Amino acid sequence: MERWTFLILADDAGEPSQIRMFLRAGDDPGSWPSLQVALDGSEVPLDQVQKDYEAPEWKAREIFVTGGATEDRWEALKDQLREAARNPV
């Protein structure tokens, strides 16, 4: 069973602006495949900005799609992290 973490990052007005995604593969959180995306689906550099909150996948996906991205893009990002877990650097 896959274990995911979705952190919602807010803009200055407190509105969701980005999502940081982790595929919790293995025991070392530092090695978990991760990425960060804007709500339009474009990848942005992974940063250490404080999260606003952790969301369940259904809520993170809802925020993502409401922000202008697509369900297909969401699945592609998850596939990208799955691939990174299978082929660690």
CA distance 28 to 18: 24
Q: What is the mean pLDDT of residues 62-82?
A: 97
| C-alpha span between 59 and 47 (Å, rounded) | 22
Q: What is the pLDDT of residue 30?
A: 87
Q: What's the whole-model pTM score? A: 0.93
Tokens of 86: 């299978």
First CA to last CA distance, the chain: 22
Mean residue pLDDT across the chain: 94
Region 49-77 average pLDDT: 96
Q: What is the pLDDT at residue 50?
A: 87
Query: How large a percentage of the chain has pLDDT more than 70?
Result: 100
Task: Report, as an integer, the average pLDDT of 5-18.
Answer: 95
